[in-house]
């Protein structure tokens, strides 16, 4: 029963004595599976106390001895899962090094492939999490995807974590994010090779349904919709992107790169694309992140012959690259030497240009929200509130702050709202001036004779109401012929007399008085 004695020595922490005894017993009976197991677990204990990059030589030595023991597959799994946890610790310790030893990581991944572990399992999850630390620094990290695949996640892998009060994405979210980045980089660096394009495209097409499944299962994973949009764009599926990307874009609309993605869904000369660039550049973002965006926008400005504006964008690109010590590309150098650049005046800012297109860009976010044609009934400039009318069943008010400069009664707009309170307050999503072809239900043309009541203090042309002030101010007479435009309104003072709804004149054309 010496294998029990070996276990007892291990429990007491007497590993050297346990090792000597296990080796003696295995020499006596080399085919005894209990003797093999006993020695294997002793080597595991040595592996465990050396599971750090600083002790890698000893770790490798005990690894080789342990893996050389011929255990049956039935006896492998528990041991291998324990070994995987120690291997993961070594991987984590490698990433703490100032200069990453990438060849060591390659060797550690090779070791991981030798282990027989369940999927899903705690060990499998731990190894994935460890190797994913290399997504930004390890050239061969993509081999992690090939080995681990997408079917070995435990329930805990789907949960986000917290470290020092900061939320950390779940293992699954990071895994899918990295996979998407890998395919996007591969597509970007394919060097216009048709065969390479077809191969990468087929891989993306195969990956997209898995990504979509995770988006549906985990709507809290914020960036998966972004990567889905980028992948669809990379394979030319622009038409599918916009609607699918909208929910994400609404949540992250203060991020410049969200508008860059939306811009990419439109053709090069589309005004919506131009508007999205303006919106992106209007946001506060680190200048070094905007280099590519500014250069692309400058090219659009050049096409529009907006040379001063283009010059400013290019100058900003040069300034930031110079301040960072980065190379000025040949493309930029060519632009700097062109006649239009040399002749164009210098502007201090393009903010006014950006602001002119912000409303157009933001309205794109709400294409899935019904648009209403409304007419302004009243403007409270002190509170920056508008009372509006759509038709007899839809009216209310909203704040126009940061949306409109100086709205006027009778103006017609196309507006989108996200919610309506019980008192009629509408939360505005977007608003733009209506086109001439848009037909507002709240405005009507009228023509006829004014019928003034006996006291002469109000009157009607059909159902258009003329209040005493209007009659007196314009010196209107009974049976006078009048034409004009009237607006549907809601009389809060005399709802019983006028049924709560009536029309009053906005614009009048007066004919010669009959008397």
* C-alpha distance from residue 112 to each of 46, 77, 130, 322 (Å): 18, 13, 11, 45
From first to last of its 515 residues, what are the pLDDT tens digits of the chain? 588 889 999 999 999 999 999 999 999 998 898 999 999 999 999 999 999 999 999 999 999 999 999 887 666 888 999 999 999 999 999 999 989 999 999 999 999 999 999 999 999 999 999 999 998 889 889 999 989 999 899 999 999 988 788 888 999 999 999 999 999 999 988 766 778 888 999 999 999 999 999 999 998 898 898 899 999 999 988 877 887 788 888 888 999 999 999 999 998 889 999 999 999 999 999 999 999 999 999 999 999 999 999 999 999 999 999 999 999 999 999 999 999 999 999 899 999 999 999 888 988 888 778 889 999 988 999 999 999 999 888 889 999 987 888 999 889 999 999 888 888 899 998 888 898 888 899 888 888 898 988 776 788 888 888 888 888 888 888 888 988 888 887 755 543 333 344 566 766 665 554 44
| DSSP per-residue letters across 243-274 | HHHHHHHHHTTTSHHHHHHHHHTS-TT-HHHH
Model pTM? 0.69
| DSSP per-residue letters across 285-342 | --GGGSHHHHHHHHHHHHHTT-HHHHHHHHHHHHHHHHHTTPPPPHHHHHHHTSHHHH
Instruction: Give 483's strand partners.
Output: 447, 509
């Amino acid at each position: 029963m010496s294998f029990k004695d070996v276990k007892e020595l291990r429990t007491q922490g007497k590993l050297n004595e346990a090792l000597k005894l296990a080796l003696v017993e295995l020499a006596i009976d080399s085919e005894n599976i209990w003797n093999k197991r006993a020695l294997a677990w002793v080597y595991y204990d040595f592996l465990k106390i050396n599971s750090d990059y600083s002790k890698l030589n000893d770790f490798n030595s005990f690894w080789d001895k342990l893996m050389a023991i011929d255990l049956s597959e039935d006896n492998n799994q528990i041991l291998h899962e324990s070994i995987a946890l120690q291997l993961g610790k070594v991987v984590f310790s490698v990433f703490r090094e100032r200069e990453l030893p990438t060849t060591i990581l390659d060797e550690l991944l090779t070791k991981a492939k030798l282990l027989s572990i369940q999927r899903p399992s705690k060990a499998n999850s731990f190894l994935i999490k460890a190797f994913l630390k290399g997504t930004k620094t390890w050239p061969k990290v993509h081999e992690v995807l090939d080995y681990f695949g997408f079917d070995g996640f435990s329930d805990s892998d789907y949960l986000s974590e917290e470290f020092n009060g900061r939320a950390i994405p779940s293992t699954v979210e990071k895994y899918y994010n990295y996979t998407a980045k890998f395919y996007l980089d591969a597509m970007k660096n394919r060097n216009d090779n048709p065969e390479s394009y077809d191969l990468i495209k087929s891989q993306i097409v195969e990956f997209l349904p898995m990504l979509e499944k995770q988006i549906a299962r985990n709507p809290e994973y914020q960036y998966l919709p972004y990567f889905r949009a980028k992948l669809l764009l990379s394979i030319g599926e622009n038409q599918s992107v916009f609607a699918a990307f909208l929910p994400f874009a609404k949540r992250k609309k203060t991020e410049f790169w969200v508008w860059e993605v939306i811009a990419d869904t439109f053709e090069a000369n589309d005004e919506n694309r131009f508007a999205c660039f303006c919106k992106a550049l209007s946001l506060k973002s680190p200048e070094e992140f905007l280099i590519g965006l500014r250069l692309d926008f400058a090219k659009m400005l050049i096409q529009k012959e907006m040379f001063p504006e283009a010059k400013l964008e290019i100058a900003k690109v040069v300034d930031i690259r110079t301040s960072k010590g980065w190379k000025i590309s040949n493309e930029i150098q060519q632009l700097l030497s062109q006649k239009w650049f040399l002749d164009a005046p210098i502007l201090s800012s393009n903010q006014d240009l950006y602001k002119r297109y912000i409303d157009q860009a933001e309205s794109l976010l709400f294409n899935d929200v019904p648009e209403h044609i409304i007419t302004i009934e009243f403007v409270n400039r002190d509170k920056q509130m508008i009372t509006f009318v759509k038709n007899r069943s839809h009216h209310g008010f909203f704040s126009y702050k940061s949306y409109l400069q100086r709205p006027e009664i009778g103006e017609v707009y196309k507006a989108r709202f996200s919610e309506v309170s019980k008192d009629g307050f509408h939360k505005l999503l977007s608003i733009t001036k209506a086109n001439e072809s848009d037909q507002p239900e709240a405005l009507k043309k009228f023509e006829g004779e004014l019928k003034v009541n006996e006291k002469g203090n109000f009157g009607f042309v059909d159902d258009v109401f003329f209040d005493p002030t209007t009659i007196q101010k314009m010196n209107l007479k009974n049976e006078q012929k009048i034409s004009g435009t009237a607006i549907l309104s809601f009389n809060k003072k005399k709802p019983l007399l006028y049924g709560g709804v009536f029309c009053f004149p906005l614009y009048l054309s007066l004919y010669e008085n009959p008397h």
